[in-house]
Amino acid sequence: MNIETAGAFRARVAKHAALADPARLRIVDLLTLGDFSPTELQAELGMPSNLLSHHLRALEEAGLTTRHRSEADRRRSYVQLVAGALEGLVPGAEHGARRLLFVCTRNSARSQLAAALWGHVSEIPSTSAGTHPAESIAQGAIEVARRHGVDLADVPPRKLEQVAGEGDLVVTVCDNAHEELASLGGVHWSVSDPLRLGTDEAFEQAFTDIAHRINGLAPRVIAA
């Protein structure tokens, strides 16, 4: 469920459009350090005043910067970033979910790891399931979780139909499950199957991939 308002989305588009120009991006980089007068910016950027004025106007119109008069020399002004100006550049919260349901084919490694990692970064409940569950959790998944201080839930692999509920945000973490459940919607992460190689390195790579994706998704989901 997309919960970002149309106005917020348009504002984010305007900011990205303004920063698409290299000179304007450089100005914003400088302003993250402190306030600059137009003369100081002109010296830093080595551009004519009329071109600098054009860029500053574009940044102001996008809601990224503002200008105020110097308290010392009233003929001088300073450009500064608007408070929180850069916060709208990252993707906004997009989904409301009662629970996160991580799904892979066997529910023996990737989906189990994802559900466990989710619990470390969000208060929204999580669980996992498989389209064709195995008899037990893979030893490699247990070991890689232990190496990283993550406890896997003491829950055996379960079939998707036994677990799925209304309000779940389904996240498939393997291509087989995603393609089998294409009509289900949700989110898909194409995480390599560590069981194909069965090595510590393969499980470490899958763990790292999932952890990275978990950290990226968590800020974008709110409790429904």
The tens digit of pLDDT for each residue in 43-81 reads: 999 999 999 999 999 999 999 999 989 888 888 899 999
Instruction: Give residue 1's pLDDT band: very low, low, confident or very high (50, 70, 90).
Output: very low
Alpha-carbon distance 15 to 28, whole Å? 11
CATH 1.10.10.10 residue ranges for the chain: 6-89
Helix (H, G, I), strand (E, B) or coil at 18: helix
**Residue bearing the bigger pLDDT, 184 or 98:** 98
Alpha-carbon distance 54 to 21, whole Å? 12
Which pTM does this prediction carry?
0.69
88, 12 Cβ separation under 8 angstroms:
yes
Name the CATH topology of 6-89. Answer: Arc Repressor Mutant, subunit A (1.10.10)
Alpha-carbon distance 52 to 75, whole Å? 18
CA angle 168–170–174, rounded 5-degree value: 160
What is the bridge-based pairing of β-strands 65-69 and 77-81?
Answer: antiparallel
Mean pLDDT of the region 149-164: 92
176, 170 Cβ separation under 8 angstroms:
no
171, 101 Cβ separation under 8 angstroms:
yes
CATH 3.40.50.2300 residue ranges for the chain: 95-223
62, 15 Cβ separation under 8 angstroms:
yes
Mean pLDDT of the region 2-27: 85
Q: Does domain 95-223 have CATH number 3.40.50.1980?
A: no
The angle, 0 to 180 degrees and rounded to 10, between the axes of the packed helices 200-217 and 139-147 is 60
Here the tokens at position 23 are: 């000179």
The angle, 0 to 180 degrees and rounded to 10, between the axes of the packed helices 38-45 and 22-31 is 120
Here the tokens at position 132 are: 């064709």
22, 70 Cβ separation under 8 angstroms:
no
State the chain's maximal CA–CA distance in angstroms. 77
Helix (H, G, I), strand (E, B) or coil at 41: helix
pLDDT digits (tens, 9 = 90+) for 198-217: 999 999 999 999 999 999 88
